[in-house]
Amino acid sequence: MSGFGRRVHMVGIGGEGMSGLASILLKRGVCVSGSDLKTNRHTDTLRQAGVTIHSAHAASNVQPEHDRVIISSAIRSDNEEVLAAEQLGIPIVRRLHALSSVIGERRSIGIAGTHGKTTVTAMTATILRELAEDPSFLIGAHCESLGGNAYDGCGDWFVAEIDESDGLFTSVRPTVAVLTNIGKDHLQTYRTVDDIDAAFRTYVKGARHAVLGIDDPRVRAIAESSCGGFTVGCHPRARLRASHVRYAGFRTSFTLKLDGRTVARVTLPAPGQHNVRNALCALGAAAVTGMDLRAACRALGSFGLPHRRFELLEENGVTVVDDYAHLPEEVAASLRAIRTGWPGRRIVVVFQPHRYTRTQTLGQEFAASFDLADIAVVTDIYPASEAPIEGVSASTVADAVARVSHVDARWVPEKPDVVEFLKTSIRPGDFIISFGAGDVWKITQELSEFLIAGEFRFAESPQPVCSR
């Protein structure tokens, strides 16, 4: 593969983006090795494909015959393998720069935004696949209906999720840039939301075409200040617009209109208004690339939500779902999806704050996000790669929720204690959902296994389900 040489070593190979990139490089004839501190389904799959994966970072993992060392955003500059590569004079490439080179070999659709980009990428890849385009894709989560998180197809299009977390995404130049929304996140990289806004503007300007989700006011401002963007949304000024939306559990339907004319009635196997907006972004990408919109609408019927995106774990008199939402707007959107799709159910939330820095800057903003829940259990912070910050605790999130809403909010630091609380609190018809980008899924996974075993009794004297 041009630009990478014959042998590549990848530091942090087990991550969603890195593992997908590794499989693409491998398919294109590059000899890949890598290292990661944790094993997962991605490292197991790569090992089976012949990739040598080291379970620890060490200078000896980097060899003189390596032509490139690719590193993930989580890898620090003082990492042993980074230092070894520098000493050996091996070029070090950041993941997004490597991705930019990969997608530059095809016509590409890059999906960016604070929320929804993983789902939109999966939707777009599904549409192109169902329309026999055989696209390549790289998604930030495993997608069962697509066979994984990455695929190297024979078609002209490469669909890729573009992550903004480290600020390097502005160097990516896709043929079509999709921008879902702009929100406050990654303030360890950006000083303010205005800085984030400016970075997304740069990203959009670097593309030949842009698809802009104008339900978001900041994206709408971009559309109003530039020419050529294809606007999508529920907003009345969107060229591609959804109307007459209906919600029913895991399925949502809406009427799709282009420039005021009805195109089709869309049935989407995903809940909530936020997924309607996600679908509009994917359909907008299809329209810009010249796909038949009616066929694209039908193709969405084959879509399956990616791993940990409103993922159903169990339905046994109690609904148990796991969700990746870890920002205030994402939590609120998923709770609205439950209220509209499952009216009258009691909602029990388990939330695991992600990173100390994010909890420090956004902790108080989570208060209103849980307003549609009945019970909110907050467990300890998942630190990712961060060191603790003095005075920053998950208890502040629970306190904030308790102060400003009717929600029964409690801080339960240890995961086993959360599981026991849930087991003794289950009521018929409960909708239990876990939120977080860390390992909170272990709680709802254990709970679902408990429910499957059937060795439980509902709590005595159950309260009536919520009537809101």
CB 114 within 8 A of CB 185: yes
pLDDT score of 466? 42
Say yes or no: 166 and 132 in one domain: yes
In 97-156, the DSSP E strands lie at 107-112, 136-143, 148-151
**Residue 38's domain spans which residues?**
7-94
Out of 114, 118, 121, 180, pick the active-site residue: 118
**Structural domains counted in the chain:** 3
Q: Please identify, among 263, 283, 302, the residue that sits at the C-terminal boundary of a domain.
A: 302
CB 67 within 8 A of CB 90: yes
Query: Kindly report the CA angle at 415 between 410 and 417, in degrees rounded to 5?
Result: 65
Residue 118 annotated in active site:
yes
Distance of alpha carbon 174 from its chain centroid, rounded? 19
Q: CATH code at 166?
A: 3.40.1190.10
CB 211 within 8 A of CB 280: no
Say yes or no: 334 and 201 in one domain: no
pLDDT score of 462? 41
- β-strands 311-315, 319-323: how paired? antiparallel
Q: Cβ contacts of residue 77 below 8 Å, gap of 6+?
A: none
pLDDT score of 298? 97
Say yes or no: 89 and 111 in one domain: no
pLDDT tens, position by position, for the chain (468 residues)?
Answer: 457 889 999 999 999 899 999 999 999 999 999 999 988 889 999 999 999 999 999 999 999 999 999 999 889 889 999 999 999 999 999 999 999 999 888 899 999 999 999 999 999 999 999 999 999 999 999 999 999 999 999 999 999 999 988 888 888 999 999 999 999 887 677 789 899 999 999 999 999 999 999 999 999 999 998 767 999 999 999 999 999 999 999 999 999 999 999 999 999 999 999 999 999 999 999 999 999 999 999 999 999 999 999 999 999 889 999 999 999 999 999 999 999 999 999 999 999 999 999 999 888 889 899 999 999 999 999 998 789 999 999 999 999 999 887 899 999 999 999 999 999 999 999 999 999 999 999 999 999 999 988 766 665 544 434 434
Say yes or no: 258 and 349 in one domain: no
Q: Please identify, among 94, 122, 138, the residue that sits at the C-terminal boundary of a domain.
A: 94
Q: CATH code at 50?
A: 3.40.50.720
Say yes or no: 161 and 262 in one domain: yes
Residue type at 350 in one-letter notation: V
Query: pTM here?
Result: 0.91
Out of 114, 117, 319, 340, pick the active-site residue: 117
Say yes or no: 118 and 76 in one domain: no
Q: What b/e sequence results for 149-170 when a residue is b if at least 16 CB atoms lie within 10 Å of its CB, and e otherwise?
A: bbbbbebebbbbbbbbeeebbb
Say yes or no: 381 and 234 in one domain: no
What is the signed CA dihedral for 291, 295, 296, 300, rounded to 10 degrees? -160
Element of type H or E holding 179? strand 176-179
Q: Please identify, among 302, 329, 347, the residue that sits at the C-terminal boundary of a domain.
A: 302
Say yes or no: 159 and 278 in one domain: yes
Say yes or no: 69 and 209 in one domain: no
Out of 16, 81, 161, 330, pick the active-site residue: 161
Say yes or no: 249 and 118 in one domain: yes
Say yes or no: 178 and 298 in one domain: yes
Say yes or no: 87 and 125 in one domain: no
